[in-house]
Amino acid sequence: MVELRLPKNSKVKAGKRLLAPPDVKRVKEIHIYRFEPEDAQNPRLDRYQIDLDQCGSKVLDAIIKIKDELDPTVTFRRSCREGVCGSCAMNINGKNTLACLAAIADYPAVIRIYPLPHLKVIKDLVVDMTLIYQQYASIKPWLQKNNSEALRGAEGSVASGGREQLQSIDERKQLDGVYECVMCACCSASCPSYWWNGDRYLGPAVLLQAYRWLVDSRDDQKDQRLDALDDAFKLYRCHTIMNCTDTCPKGLNPAKAIAEIKKMLVQR
Ligand code: SF4
Ligand code: SF4
Ligand code: FES
């Protein structure tokens, strides 16, 4: 039966508030969603005031400062701190983005930070990415040659007949706007179609990756890749709502990539 009410412990409650010392001149208040799976409590929003004169310029710097100086229990993912690993994806003031690319100065006095929406929360800002990674694996995100021997070049390099796989400048250009994707899943977590059909619809992050391999001139499996995507749910749940493109912190356009895949299917 359809559950029309929110589960009892879904309401986010006000948590603790740690104030900055009175002599701090430039204060920013950061609210962070907290959820501890092992206690039966509701999630809460903890509030921390920080001294901007003693903090780096990005939202990730603020979260790291809070963890280092105010509350070591705050849990989040991060690695590169420069927008290339994709691990610090979260929802900041209503928009999915990478915390290490988000400038504190671009936000108002209060910054509210939640985990990516519609993904299961493991703890605080850490979400379960298992399904997205399974879907990513399903599109075979690697170079496929018809002759698999061709891939066994010296020291595992991508080579055919012992030679590099060269691309013309124009062929290489096809990868611009797609190779930059860091698989942060900000786009998929903002897509209403993925919210409702995430178990069967691949979502914008994975479909942009699928497109990346379809337009790689070195790949020999275009037909097989298209066959695998030609499915009412995997691909055609995209209704061009464009949330994905609007939110991508790398400035990419997954909605266009999805439209291009549909076009390839019509044209072949
Ligand atoms: S398209 Fe953009 S938002 Fe989506 S996974 Fe790639 S980098 Fe992240
Ligand atoms: S354009 Fe497609 S993938 Fe992007 S948010 Fe809309 S439905 Fe989702
Ligand atoms: S820490 Fe790597 S993308 Fe933000």
| Inter-residue contact 105 to 57 (CB < 8 Å) | yes
Token couple for 102: 């988000």
**How many residues are given for the chain?**
268
Above 60 in pLDDT, residue 157?
A: no
Phi, psi at 205, each rounded to 5°: -65, -50
Q: Which of 258, 261, 262 should be mutated for ligand 2, with most atoms under 8 A from CB?
A: 258
Q: What percent of the chain has pLDDT over 70?
A: 93
Kindly give the distance from the C-alpha atom of residue 230 to the centroid of ligand 2, in angstroms, as a whole number: 17
**Distance (Å, rounded) from C-alpha 109 to C-alpha 106?**
10
Kindly give the pairing relationship between strand 44-51 and strand 13-18: parallel
For residue 239, the model assigns a pLDDT of 92
HEC readout, 232-266: CCCCCCCCCCCHHHHHCCCCCCHHHHHHHHHHHHH
Kindly give the distance from the C-alpha atom of residue 89 to the centroid of ligand 1, in angstroms, as a whole number: 10
| Inter-residue contact 225 to 139 (CB < 8 Å) | yes
Region 95-105: mean pLDDT is: 98
pTM above 0.85, yes or no: yes
Residue owning the nearest CA to atom 3 of ligand 1: 248
Strands (E), 55-135: 89-92, 95-98, 110-114, 121-123, 126-127
Other C-beta atoms lying within 10 Å of the C-beta of residue 144: 16
Above 60 in pLDDT, residue 26?
A: yes
Kindly give the distance from the C-alpha atom of residue 76 to the centroid of ligand 3, in angstroms, as a whole number: 11
**Distance (Å, rounded) from C-alpha 116 to C-alpha 253?**
19
Q: Which of 98, 127, 136, 186 should be mutated for ligand 1, with most atoms under 8 A from CB?
A: 186
Task: Mention every residue, 6+ apart, whose C-beta is less than 8 A from residue 195.
Answer: 117, 118
For residue 5, the model assigns a pLDDT of 79
**143-155 per-position pLDDT tens digit:** 998 875 545 444 4
Q: How confident is the model at residue 2 (pLDDT cuts 50, 70, 90)?
A: low
**79-91 per-position pLDDT tens digit:** 999 999 999 999 9
Strand, coil or helix: what is 226?
helix
Other C-beta atoms lying within 10 Å of the C-beta of residue 57: 13
**Distance (Å, rounded) from C-alpha 175 to C-alpha 42?**
45
Is the distance from the beta carbon of residue 196 to the nearest atom of ligand 2 less than 6 Å?
Answer: no
**221-233 per-position pLDDT tens digit:** 999 999 999 999 9
Q: Which domains does the chain have, with CATH numbers?
A: 8-127 (3.10.20.30), 130-267 (1.10.1060.10)
Q: How confident is the model at residue 40 (pLDDT cuts 50, 70, 90)?
A: confident
Token couple for 119: 């993904």
| Inter-residue contact 17 to 36 (CB < 8 Å) | no
For residue 154, the model assigns a pLDDT of 44
**110-131 per-position pLDDT tens digit:** 999 999 999 999 999 999 999 9
| Inter-residue contact 150 to 218 (CB < 8 Å) | no
CA-nearest of 125, 132, 121 to 111 is 125
